[in-house]
Each structure stands twice: as structure tokens, then as C-alpha cells.
Amino acid sequence: MCREVDLQQAVLAKNDATAHSLRAGLTARGTTVVNLLSSPGSGKTELLERELSRARERGVPVAALTADLATENDAVRLARSGAPVKQVLTDGLCHLEAGMLGRHIDDWLPDGTRILFVENVGNLVCPASYDLGETLRVVLASVTEGEDKPLKYPTAFGLAQLVVVTKTDIAQAVGFDEAAFRAHVQQVNPGVDVVLTAARRGEGVGTLLDRALAAGEGAPVHTPVMARQHASHQHTHPHEDHRTHGGQHTHSHTHTGVHTHTHPDLGTHDHPHTGPHAHAHPDEPLVVTTAPASAAQHRP
């Protein structure tokens, strides 16, 4: 068990170091990364398509990278906005990692991109533990998912810098209790903003873009209590960014090629990791990339 935990800490420490380097490089290029996390079917693709279209209307250079286990459906939808879009197929891997993101945007991300939206794999467990070098981490939940979602997935919601509620146009029909949801969010992440959206009606569209632009210009971004607690517990090999470890200590060990994931919401999983393969085509608005992620995929 100790070996498993140590391996997990080594993997997360390596990811944090990569994320810090990626963040610094993108910031130097003037690019702000927004990491979008949610359950499958939350409506984040619908909202993201409209955010991209709004950005294009306003003349803001944006791009999107979307990750899925299979199909190119989301990339096709997002490309309708006219923004540069890249699809990453993880072939079963349940999350993106900083190194994967770095390889996929290398030689693809257009110069001058101010905002890169990353639509993570639909999953509220695995992606929560991995910093992607983002400036703004957003967790979305639809009104159909229930008010207790933040309590069921405390790491995802506890590390969010912004929480977005989607599909509010049907909130009354499904009996969504907004007050209870807000209370549960504050229970795991005091002080985080909660915004309401109904993408098909255009309600709340532009909020993500505005928040990302403000963050890129140096506006204060919410620091979750969970992140502060983790930072205060670091005792060896500290890193400058610790938002995604869920309060665990970091130890440096040799990477053996096995990723061990210990999640408070699921437990521990091991899988060999061979890394993705990116195929970038910077001259095309839609790039579909098949990225075999591992020999024994970690499924949500």
C-alpha cells in the first residue's frame, strides 16, 4: 500500500512540475488556459460552443481542445464556432495530464491565442487530481444531476475556482433546489462563485469568456480552501502550484511507468502509461487526434 501511495505521489509531483512549466510558457505567450470539468451530459459542449462563438463575435482569439474516450462528435460541434479546435481521443484514459496537453498543443495552438478552453474527459473523479497548467479551473453541473453533487465529488468541487450550473431553463421541471446546491458547494469550497447558465437561451453565455479574460489580465482568482490546506502541509520538494493534490504530501520517487491513482471518490487504480501521440495540423480548423493513452486503460 505504501508503494502505491508513493507511486501516486510521484506521478502527481511530476504532473505538477510539468503543469507549472506549461503554465509559465503559455503565460509568456499571452495564453490563458481554462480547464472545464464535469460529468458526461452536463451540457458543457453546448455552453463551450456558444462561448467560442461569442469570443469570435468580439474578436477575441480563442481555441479549444476537447478530450473524449471515443468519437469526434464534440470537436465537430465546437468547430461550427469557427474557432480552431483539436480533438484528442484518449482511447479509454479517464483524464488529461499536463504532459499530454503540452504535447497536443505543441505546433498546433495558433500564435496570439488569448484563451485556450480545455474540455476535459467527462468525469468528476480522475481529472480533479491533475493540474493542466490552467489559470482557471471550472466545474460544471447540470440541474438534472441533483443538489448533492458537490458532496459526492468533494475533490472536483473543492478545487474549483468557479462553479457553473447548466440547463437552468429546465430547473423547475426537474425540481432543482438552487439554494441547497449553493449550500453544498459552499460546504466543500467556501467563497467560490456559482453562476447560472441556460446556453440554449443564451443566458449566462459570455461569463466564462469574461472570467478567463479577467484572469489573464491579472484579476484575482478564487483560491479554494482545499488548495490552501494542501499547500500548508507540504514538507518536502515543494512546488509553486498545488491546487490539484487534494491535500496530500508530495514525495519524489523514480517513475516506474505505472500510474497509480488514489481518489477519495473511487479508490486506487494502477495502469501502465505509454503516453499519447499527437498529430497536429495547424493549417486546419479541425484537427482530430487519436491518442492511445495506455495499454491497460483506466476507465471512469
Confidence of residue 228 (pLDDT cuts 50, 70, 90): confident
| Whole-prediction pTM | 0.77
Q: Tell me, what's the pLDDT at 95?
A: 86
Q: What percent of the chain has pLDDT over 70?
A: 75
The whole-angstrom separation of Cα 97 and Cα 12 is 9
CA-wise closest residue to 266 among 62, 30, 8: 8
More confident of the two residues 8 and 155: 155
| Cα–Cα separations (whole angstroms), residue 150 to 28, 60, 71, 170 | 34, 32, 29, 20
For residue 232, what pLDDT band results from cuts at 50, 70 and 90?
low
pLDDT tens-place string over residues 127-137: 999 999 999 99
Nearest-angstrom CA–CA distance, 284 and 233 = 46
Predicted local distance difference test score (pLDDT) of residue 281: 36
Distance CA 89, CA 124 (A): 18
The pLDDT tens digits of the residues spanning 164-192 come to 999 999 999 999 999 999 999 999 999 99
Mean residue pLDDT of the chain comes to: 82
pLDDT band at 209 (very low <50, low <70, confident <90, very high): very high
Residue 63: pLDDT above 90?
yes
> Lowest-confidence range among 23-32, 164-173, 192-201, 253-262?
253-262
Tell me what pLDDT residue 51 has: 98
pLDDT of 1: 59
**Local confidence band at 5 (pLDDT 50, 70, 90 cut-offs):** confident
Q: What pLDDT score does 90 carry? A: 82
For residues 37-51, average pLDDT = 97
Q: Which amino acid is at 146?
A: G
Q: Could you give the CA distance from residue 141 to residue 41 in angstroms, rounded to a whole number?
A: 9
pLDDT of residue 261: 42
Question: pLDDT of 142-162, one tens digit each?
Answer: 999 999 999 999 999 999 999
Q: Which of the four pLDDT bands, split at 50, 70 and 90, describes residue 210?
A: very high
User: How far apart are alpha carbons 190 and 150 in whole angstroms?
Assistant: 12
SS3 for 249? coil
Predicted confidence at residue 45, as pLDDT, reads 97
Q: Report pLDDT digits (tens) over 72-84.
A: 999 999 999 999 9
What whole-number percentage of the chain has pLDDT above 90?
67
Q: Where are the alpha helices (DSSP H) in the chain?
A: 2-28, 44-57, 73-79, 98-105, 149-152, 154-158, 171-174, 178-188, 207-216, 225-233
SS3 state of residue 135: coil
